[in-house]
Chain A
Amino acid sequence: KAGVTQTPRYLIKTRGQQVTLSCSPISGHRSVSWYQQTPGQGLQFLFEYFSETQRNKGNFPGRFSGRQFSNSRSEMNVSTLELGDSALYLCASSFQTGNDEQYFGPGTRLTVT
Chain B
Amino acid sequence: GENVEQHPSTLSVQEGDSAVIKCTYSDSASNYFPWYKQELGKRPQLIIDIRSNVGEKKDQRIAVTLNKTAKHFSLHITETQPEDSAVYFCAASYGGGAGSYQLTFGKGTKLSVIP
Q: Which residues of A contact B (CB under 8 A)?
A: 4, 33, 35, 42-45, 48, 50, 55-56, 58, 90, 92, 97-99, 101-107
Q: Which residues of B contact A92 (CB under 8 A)?
A: 103
A-B contact pairs, 24 of them (CB 8 A): A4-B43, A33-B102, A33-B103, A35-B103, A42-B108, A43-B44, A43-B89, A43-B103, A45-B103, A48-B96, A48-B101, A55-B100, A56-B97, A56-B98, A56-B102, A98-B93, A98-B100, A98-B101, A99-B95, A101-B34, A102-B103, A104-B36, A104-B45, A105-B43
How far in angstroms is the closest Cβ of chain B from A39? 10
Closest A residue to B44 using CB positions: A104
| A43 and B34 in contact, given A98-B93, A106-B43 (Cβ under 8 angstroms) | no
How far in angstroms is the closest Cβ of chain B from A44? 8
Q: Which of B31, B43, B93, B96 makes the CB contact (< 8 A) with A55?
A: B96
How far in angstroms is the closest Cβ of chain A from B66? 15
Closest A residue to B1 using CB positions: A59
Asked if B100 contacts A56 (CB within 8 A), the reply is yes
Classify the interface of chain A: helix, strand, loop or mixed: strand
| A48 and B100 in contact, given A99-B32, A102-B34 (Cβ under 8 angstroms) | yes
How far in angstroms is the closest Cβ of chain A from B56? 18
List 4 additional A-B contacts (Cβ < 8 Å) besides A58-B102, A99-B31, A103-B46.
A48-B102, A56-B96, A102-B46, A104-B43
How far in angstroms is the closest Cβ of chain B from A35? 8
How far in angstroms is the closest Cβ of chain A from B105? 4
Q: Which of A45, A90, A103, A106 makes the CB contact (< 8 A) with B102?
A: A45
